[in-house]
Structure 1
Amino acid sequence: MQKKELYDPPPPVPVYWIENSDSVSRHFQFEPDGQLSVKIIDDARPASRRMVESFQNKFFPSGYPYSVNEGYLRYTQFRALQHFCSATLSVLSTQSLLFAAGLRPTPAQATAVSWILKDGMQHVGKLICSNLGSRMDSEPKSWRLLADVLYDLGTGLEVLSPLCPHLFLEMAGLGNFAKGMAVVAARATRLPIYSSFAKEGNLSDLFAKGEAISTVFNVLGIGAGIQLASTVCSSTQGKLVVGPLLSLVHVYCVSEEMRATPVNTLNPQRTAIIVADFIKKGRISSPADLRYQEDLIFPGRLIEEAGNVKVGRDLHKVVKPSELHQIKEVFPEERFILNRGTKWTDMILERNATGEDALRGWLVAAYAADIEKSFHKHNEEVLEEAYERMNNVFSPFLSELQAKGWHTDRFLDGNGCRFAS
């Protein structure tokens, strides 16, 4: 009886294809486990171009420059230089701290306790700064700049510590306290800044490539710091010359980073500039147009063309209880209260007011100031006419605002006072 021969089924034919794109031929093939493998089989690009594109793929988001908003390259350039200076300063300050701690005529155990207490002050600074998160959402650029000023201040105290070794704990503790606040502020503002560049929902890619650039320049900065610490800055006098120069470059780089960032959320300063441009020039600025008009040092300044509006003051400081109902009745359907004074106009928003409500109130205040300047009328007549003007222009104004890329669903007033109707 003949045995029936068994035949194994033939192996599956591999699925592969070749793509030719931009002088590069790539072989794509699905492996048995379902993974897609890619191999370059021919690359006719010049070596210099391959190096540039390899660098771009590692340190810039996929699809750059079309996947990010305007200003990203300038932001990245200054961020790289900022991290280089920061890492160099860190090496110099650490050397100074070790030198100061070693000079103290105390047992090693006491020195260790002082060092631990010094590090503990950084955590205290972090806890205090963590309560200011809503203000950082409103003004991420200003807080990012303040963070680096605090960091340089803390580093400066550490560099100076060898001059008074008997005050090591006080100097180093205060320096670490400032650096702790700086760390929280810098990390908290990182997300809104990166979000302003994300054009295609590629926030994670932006974050990853930004951290890659930071890591490279931090390493280069540490190398430069070690070189300086062993040569020019081996003495405290050398650090007192080089340290301030590095700090100036550091803060300048951060300010240029922030000026290049086109933040597209509404806060008091950006809303005031948008309204002022619209009233004065009849145009609406995009986030990229407006970025260089922002004041990073005094973000709360009043803008006359926008009606000198202040947002978020305590209700009891703005309106007397006996007048509250009467003022609310001026615009009964709106989610804002306007109280016009001699120097500025107070606006208080309802708890669930959006960016659109803030824009409506701001336009009313700006039109009211413009009418009062041109025609001497009673306050009630001025507000009524201003409200009518606002209603006539608001729909096209809002549509163009959103088309320019502004997010009007929220208004970030920095934890200002709001009322509940």
Structure 2
Amino acid sequence: METDKGVVLATERYGSAESWKYVSNDGVMERRRDGSEGHSGGNSVFGVFKSVFLPQGYPESVSDDYLQYQFWDTMQAFSSSLSGTLATQASLRGVGVGNQEATVAAATVTWLLKDGTGMLGRILFAWRKGSKLDSEAKKWRLFADVLNDIAMFMEILAPYFPACFTFIVCTAGIFKSIVGVAGGATRAALTFHQARRDNMADISAKDGSQETLVNLAGLLVSLILIPLVTDNPVLTLCLFFLFTVLHLFANYKAVRSVVMETFNEARLSIVLQQYLKDKRILSPPEANQREPVFFEFGQTVPIKLGVRLQEIAQSPEDLQLALKENSMPYLLGVRNGCVCVCLGPEASVSDEIRAMCQAVVLSNMLSSSNSREATGAAPKQQKGHWEMVHKSHKLMDAIFNPLLKGAEAAGWDMRRTLIDWDEWRVEWKTKSS
């Protein structure tokens, strides 16, 4: 068949979208599209859409979960845009737009106070929680969107409480500033996960284009909604709750669709617990499906990573107990009902993973022995804690290497982690040294 049309000299393709072949025909090299010749119009329209709104090289240049995440992210952005319109209208009415008795100075002061408290909230939140946004990106992403809905609800209600209007909008401004920090930072973490060709900038730019398109659609719908909801608080609240439900559902589906191949505390704990149960290594999709996306409080013994030596050893005897049966570049101990891990400066990524696994094992031991309330002051309790530490060392010696090899074979990225270590690093001396 090829001899009738000519000899194929070369083939080429643009990503996975189209393929072409170069054919020699009577001494002339012709370029032909592979496949049907009659669908180029539809393909060209789709190609233009892809080049405008999707990263170059899609789908090979992004993670497998990119399209599903972006679909739900688009849905939540659209519903959030409509909710924001209702909140903005309420805020403008609250500061005096449309009220002849309101003064420009009073409205300006209210708006400045709102912006000022928001700036302070942004700085304080980034200071207190900035290091958590990488390791728990899913949780903080969902938290940001829930907090955003609460802030918009407060702005809608604020005009009906004129005596407390300034306080309410300032509180909402603080919430929205936290949303800005948490949402932006976690979006950067998710973009890093999605980038497969060091193309973070391209993915971020195309995400901005998608969001702009969604906001334009939201703007058109808002032009229809505003005349309907003006001076109609019941309809305003009903539409707001409808958009909020859609917004939260889409956000939940979005974070649930993300499949990260790097370990954080939650995913590593899930994989370890399953391995201890039946020696099976969970794949990244399985572990991500089980990973909690809401914050949990008071369910397990707390774990502190990268602490000072003083958190573990209060005396030379404590230090020797911490070093007993331990040849690893980290130390474990129990203090005030918390499992504390002290990291050495030469610890590798696998050492950090092992330390976290051992801390989880020790936390489970403490939980099963009902010792969460222990303060570490009683000598018997302290001795029992060190026995648990030594037992956890022996357990990790037996299971860690098979666990590490199995996790790498299951598709986990063992070159880096998202475990949230503090910056303390300690060099200790053993008896031999």
- TM normalised by structure 1 equals 0.78
Q: Which residue of structure 2 aligns with residue 128 of structure 1?
A: 124
Q: Match for 1:118 among 105, 114, 122? A: 114
Query: Could you tell me whether the CA contact under 8 Å between 1:286 and 1:406 is conserved in 2?
Result: no
Partner SS state of residue 134, structure 2: helix
**1:350–1:234 Cα change, 3 Å:** farther
Q: Match for 2:189 among 177, 189, 192? A: 192
Deviations 1:45-65 (A, max 9, x none): 254343333323322223333
Partner SS state of residue 131, structure 2: helix
Query: Could you tell me whether the CA contact under 8 Å between 1:61 and 1:205 is conserved in 2?
Result: yes
1:243 aligns with 2:240: yes
Partner SS state of residue 266, structure 1: coil
Which one-letter code corresponds to 1:97 in the other structure? S
**1:414–1:347 Cα change, 3 Å:** closer
Tell me, in whole angstroms, the C-alpha distance in 2 between the residues paired with 1:199 and 1:301. 37
Tell me, in whole angstroms, the C-alpha distance in 1 between the residues paired with 2:232 and 2:117. 27
Which one-letter code corresponds to 2:404 in the other structure? L
Partner SS state of residue 130, structure 2: helix
Query: Could you tell me whether the CA contact under 8 Å between 2:74 and 2:211 is conserved in 1?
Result: yes
**1:166–1:342 Cα change, 3 Å:** closer
After TM superposition, give the deviation of residue 179 of structure 1 in Å: 0.4
Which one-letter code corresponds to 1:78 in the other structure? W
Query: Could you tell me whether the CA contact under 8 Å between 2:333 and 2:386 is conserved in 1?
Result: no
Q: Which residue of structure 1 aligns with residue 79 of structure 2?
A: 85
Q: Which residue of structure 2 aligns with residue 269 of structure 1?
A: 266
Partner SS state of residue 219, structure 1: helix
- Superposed counterparts of 1:208-223, under 5 Å: 208-223=205-220
Which one-letter code corresponds to 1:93 in the other structure? A
After TM superposition, give the deviation of residue 154 of structure 1 in Å: 1.4
Tell me, in whole angstroms, the C-alpha distance in 2 between the residues paired with 1:399 and 1:334. 18
Q: Which residue of structure 1 aligns with residue 90 of structure 2?
A: 96
Tell me, in whole angstroms, the C-alpha distance in 2 between the residues paired with 1:300 and 1:291. 20
Partner SS state of residue 92, structure 1: helix
Partner SS state of residue 289, structure 1: helix
Tell me, in whole angstroms, the C-alpha distance in 1 between the residues paired with 2:72 and 2:418. 29
Q: Which residue of structure 2 aligns with residue 45 of structure 1?
A: 39
Partner SS state of residue 231, structure 1: helix
Tell me, in whole angstroms, the C-alpha distance in 2 between the residues paired with 1:297 and 1:246. 21
Q: Match for 1:405 among 389, 403, 412? A: 412
After TM superposition, give the deviation of residue 246 of structure 1 in Å: 1.3
Partner SS state of residue 295, structure 1: coil
**1:309–1:118 Cα change, 3 Å:** closer
Tell me, in whole angstroms, the C-alpha distance in 2 between the residues paired with 1:362 and 1:143. 21
- Superposed counterparts of 1:3-402, under 5 Å: 44-102=38-96, 103=99, 105-131=101-127, 132-232=129-229, 234-298=231-295, 310-312=303-305, 320-321=314-315, 323-339=317-333, 345-350=339-344, 353-364=347-358, 386-402=392-408
**1:19–1:367 Cα change, 3 Å:** closer
Partner SS state of residue 276, structure 2: helix
Partner SS state of residue 406, structure 1: coil
**1:379–1:219 Cα change, 3 Å:** same
After TM superposition, give the deviation of residue 389 of structure 1 in Å: 4.4
Tell me, in whole angstroms, the C-alpha distance in 1 between the residues paired with 2:212 and 2:121. 25
**1:345–1:122 Cα change, 3 Å:** closer
Query: Could you tell me whether the CA contact under 8 Å between 1:309 and 1:365 is conserved in 2?
Result: no
Which one-letter code corresponds to 2:287 in the other structure? L
Q: Which residue of structure 2 aligns with residue 9 of structure 1?
A: none
Which one-letter code corresponds to 2:328 in the other structure? E
**1:264–1:20 Cα change, 3 Å:** closer
Which one-letter code corresponds to 2:413 in the other structure? W
Query: Could you tell me whether the CA contact under 8 Å between 1:266 and 1:408 is conserved in 2?
Result: no
Report which stretch shifted further, 95-104 or 398-407. 398-407
After TM superposition, give the deviation of residue 76 of structure 1 in Å: 0.7
Query: Could you tell me whether the CA contact under 8 Å between 2:302 and 2:363 is conserved in 1?
Result: no
Which one-letter code corresponds to 2:180 in the other structure? V
Tell me, in whole angstroms, the C-alpha distance in 1 between the residues paired with 2:231 and 2:130. 40
After TM superposition, give the deviation of residue 390 of structure 1 in Å: 2.6
After TM superposition, give the deviation of residue 105 of structure 1 in Å: 4.1
Identity of aligned residues (%): 24
Query: Could you tell me whether the CA contact under 8 Å between 1:68 and 1:198 is conserved in 2?
Result: yes
Which one-letter code corresponds to 1:412 in the other structure? I
Tell me, in whole angstroms, the C-alpha distance in 1 between the residues paired with 2:89 and 2:243. 16
Which one-letter code corresponds to 2:327 in the other structure? E
Query: Could you tell me whether the CA contact under 8 Å between 1:138 and 1:414 is conserved in 2?
Result: no
Query: Could you tell me whether the CA contact under 8 Å between 2:72 and 2:251 is conserved in 1?
Result: yes
After TM superposition, give the deviation of residue 332 of structure 1 in Å: 4.2
Partner SS state of residue 338, structure 1: strand
